[in-house]
Amino acid sequence: MFRHLWGLLLAEATARAAWPNGPFVTSGRAMTDASGTTVTYVGVNWPAAADTMLPDGLQYQSVSSIVSKIKSLDMNVVRLTYAIQMVDEIEGNGGDDIPIQTAFTTALGQENGTAVYNQVVANNPSFGANTTRLQVFDAVANECAKQEIYIHLDNHVSKAGWCCTPIDGNSWWGDIYFSTANWTRGLSYMADHGKQWANLMSMSLRNELRQPFLDENLFAQSYNWQDWYKYTKQGADAIHKANPDVLIFLSGLDSDTSLNPVVQGTDLTPGTAKFNRDEFQAYSNKLVLELHNYANILGGSGVNNCTALQDDLFNDGFQSLSDDAPNQFPLVMTEFGFVQDATTWNETFARCLESYIPAQGAGWTIWVIAGSYYVREGKQDYDESWGLLTHDWSDWRSPEHINGGLIPMIKASLHGKGFGNSSGNNSSGTGNEESEALLRYEGGMRLTVLVTFVFASSCLILWL
Ligand SMILES: *[C@@H]1O[C@H](CO)[C@@H](O)[C@H](O)[C@H]1NC(C)=O
Ligand SMILES: *[C@@H]1O[C@H](CO)[C@@H](O)[C@H](O)[C@H]1NC(C)=O
Ligand SMILES: *[C@@H]1O[C@H](CO)[C@@H](O)[C@H](O)[C@H]1NC(C)=O
Ligand SMILES: *[C@@H]1O[C@H](CO)[C@@H](O)[C@H](O)[C@H]1NC(C)=O
Ligand SMILES: *[C@@H]1O[C@H](CO)[C@@H](O)[C@H](O)[C@H]1NC(C)=O
Ligand SMILES: *[C@@H]1O[C@H](CO)[C@@H](O)[C@H](O)[C@H]1NC(C)=O
Ligand SMILES: *[C@@H]1O[C@H](CO)[C@@H](O)[C@H](O)[C@H]1NC(C)=O
Ligand SMILES: *[C@@H]1O[C@H](CO)[C@@H](O)[C@H](O)[C@H]1NC(C)=O
């Protein structure tokens, strides 16, 4: 009896000490921890890939208070973005990162950069004159680990800045700023650096691949699934070689709204090869798909037909979660979002996504925690109306959304009846009753790849 109790206590202690219990692997459509328990990502994006190449918000709050806000929702992951340019600068500087003070003054100018730096240090007294950018990444990762939140590290851009258009030079391998060699070097560097973080569970290859409209030949000759596959294998190999523990997220074409031939096992055109897990030698159980969706691609016109939206999502990638998918993978909706006002969350698009995603057992990270950015598109202290937090990152911007939409979504993902709930273990893919009721939405406009293309085309016309 005594021995038994002691054993139980030991097991309990081990289970606690074992968080995050990695490395994670995949099994069919599930991500699982080292003991085979399904892990469903439920979290938020924290941008750190824009001009300063630093996690946003620290001139207003401490790292720990921001992480505590995330934790208060019961979220379990942060999608932390970074720019390849950060690694390029380190490599170009004999392996040394630059101090954050320099990063701020370079991006914001001497006067404002110094003022923002002083505010950052006032809120985060452990930072100082010698703190480097990567040390701030380390601080974010370590605080997340302390509060038992996983890190998913996302290569957002090559040249640091706001993302993503087809004319920003960051769109596709070979685009002005998107050197394939710098990219694989950057992925390796970050994969290796992240080994010291207890909670780095996964990394992406590249955010929102899209049409390279600044280079007609590149667009015509390379923007296709065949080249996607070639580069995807190079990036995945680079990450795996540097850090064999992390899951690797593959993202699709058309700003990551399409993963069609990967899921369906059809030709990777213009070639005839098909996606083949065996070509990801020794880590075929490390691959996860990621997908994005936004209603505002056409400038806020919105989507008001949930059935149509679900059909699109299914065809674009969610099919990977179904029983009869030719290629099953876990899938994480790493970006979706909308204005954080009192009502948008209760309109069809948001309601539809926030019910459909958990019901399918997909993971997700909403865009975005940031109430403001150090700088976005040239404007300093940019207010982010889509941010979960207010401008000064102190409170929820839309308590209506947090309580009416987001918390129910988190609960549905973590405790619903979808297969993401390992004790439920129900493969029907249906969610809780709340989700099912929310799914009964109808309406008009379809969001398709065509929309992305129309958007891209209008950019091209503007550019011409
Ligand atoms: C510097 O900050 C002030 C506000 O504190 C702002 O008005 C100004 O536009 C900023 N300078 C630049 C170059 O953005
Ligand atoms: C920063 O580094 C320099 C050179 O290594 C050192 O002299 C200085 O004391 C450090 N400053 C702080 C605040 O740690
Ligand atoms: C690649 O990195 C080097 C520094 O190692 C840098 O000089 C070069 O500009 C980068 N290439 C691109 C396309 O950004
Ligand atoms: C959400 O919208 C529905 C109408 O679609 C309305 O009946 C309901 O009261 C709204 N809920 C909240 C909390 O605003
Ligand atoms: C899983 O689903 C079952 C049945 O719906 C529920 O009782 C249980 O609380 C869920 N598990 C978790 C971890 O929430
Ligand atoms: C639970 O899920 C696992 C993995 O998908 C499967 O092998 C097992 O058969 C399922 N068990 C039940 C009772 O459905
Ligand atoms: C799985 O869910 C479906 C639909 O909610 C239900 O009919 C079925 O009984 C469930 N199966 C198990 C094993 O819980
Ligand atoms: C919504 O989309 C579905 C599927 O495309 C379609 O069958 C239905 O007619 C649409 N509803 C409305 C009101 O347009």
Residue 457's pLDDT is what?
Answer: 46
Give CA angle at 45 (39, 50), nearest 5°: 145
- How many CB atoms neighbour CB 273 within 10 A? 14
- At residue 236, the 3 state secondary structure works out as helix
Find out whether the beta carbon of 207 lies less than 6 Å from any atom of ligand 5: no
Closest of 60, 78, 219 to residue 145, by C-alpha: 78
How many CA atoms, within 13 angstroms, populate the side-chain half-sphere of residue 87? Answer: 21
Residues touching ligand 7 (Cβ under 6 Å) are: 426, 428, 430
Closest of 128, 145, 124 to residue 196, by C-alpha: 145
Closest-CA residue, ligand 5 atom 2, reads: 424
Closest-CA residue, ligand 3 atom 3, reads: 88
By most ligand atoms within 8 Å of CB, the mutation choice from 417, 422, 428 for ligand 7 is 428
CA distance 72 to 243: 31
By most ligand atoms within 8 Å of CB, the mutation choice from 426, 427, 434 for ligand 7 is 426
CA distance 359 to 346: 18
Q: How far is the CA of 345 from the centre of ligand 4 (A)?
A: 10
Find out whether the beta carbon of 382 lies less than 6 Å from any atom of ligand 1: no
- For every residue of 37-89, which 3-state class applies, written as one string? CECCCEEEEECCCCCCCCCCCCCCCCHHHHHHHHHHCCCCEEEEEEEHHHHHH
Find out whether the beta carbon of 336 lies less than 6 Å from any atom of ligand 3: no
Which ligand places an atom closest to the C-alpha of 116?
1
Find out whether the beta carbon of 315 lies less than 6 Å from any atom of ligand 8: no
Q: Give me the long-range contacts of 419-423 (CB less than 8 A, separation at least 24).
A: 419/29, 419/30, 419/38, 419/361, 420/30, 420/38, 420/40, 420/358, 420/361, 420/362, 420/363, 421/38, 422/37, 422/38
Residue 282's pLDDT is what?
Answer: 87
Residue type, 168: D
Closest-CA residue, ligand 1 atom 14, reads: 380
By most ligand atoms within 8 Å of CB, the mutation choice from 346, 348, 354 for ligand 4 is 346
Question: Hey, CA dihedral for 27, 30, 36, 39, is it positive or negative?
Answer: positive
Which ligand places an atom closest to the C-alpha of 429?
7
CA distance 94 to 162: 27
| pTM of the predicted structure, to 2 decimals | 0.86
Find out whether the beta carbon of 130 lies less than 6 Å from any atom of ligand 2: yes
- Digits of tens for pLDDT over the chain (464 positions)? 455 555 555 555 555 548 999 999 999 999 999 999 999 999 999 999 999 999 999 999 999 999 999 999 999 999 999 999 999 999 999 999 999 999 999 999 999 999 999 999 999 999 999 999 999 999 999 999 999 999 999 999 999 999 999 999 999 999 999 999 999 999 999 999 999 999 999 999 999 999 999 999 999 999 999 999 999 999 999 999 999 999 999 999 999 999 999 999 999 999 999 999 999 988 999 999 999 998 865 333 347 889 989 999 999 999 999 999 999 999 999 999 999 999 999 999 999 999 999 999 999 999 999 999 999 999 999 999 999 999 999 999 999 999 999 999 999 999 876 554 444 444 333 333 333 333 322 222 223 333 344 444 444 444 33
CA distance 15 to 438: 36
Residue 416's pLDDT is what?
Answer: 78
- Which runs of E-coded beta strand occur in 189-286? 200-204, 247-251
Q: How far is the CA of 330 from the centre of ligand 5 (A)?
A: 20
Residue type, 352: C
pLDDT in tens, 6-61: 555 555 555 554 899 999 999 999 999 999 999 999 999 999 999 999 999 999 99
**Both tokens assigned to 242:** 């540097």
Q: Domains in the chain, start-ordered, CATH in brackets? A: 25-415 (3.20.20.80)
Q: How far is the CA of 108 from the centre of ligand 1 (A)?
A: 8
User: For residues 23 and 245, is the Cβ–Cβ distance under 8 A?
Assistant: yes
Residue 418's pLDDT is what?
Answer: 57
Helices 133-146 and 63-72 meet at what angle, rounded to 10? 40
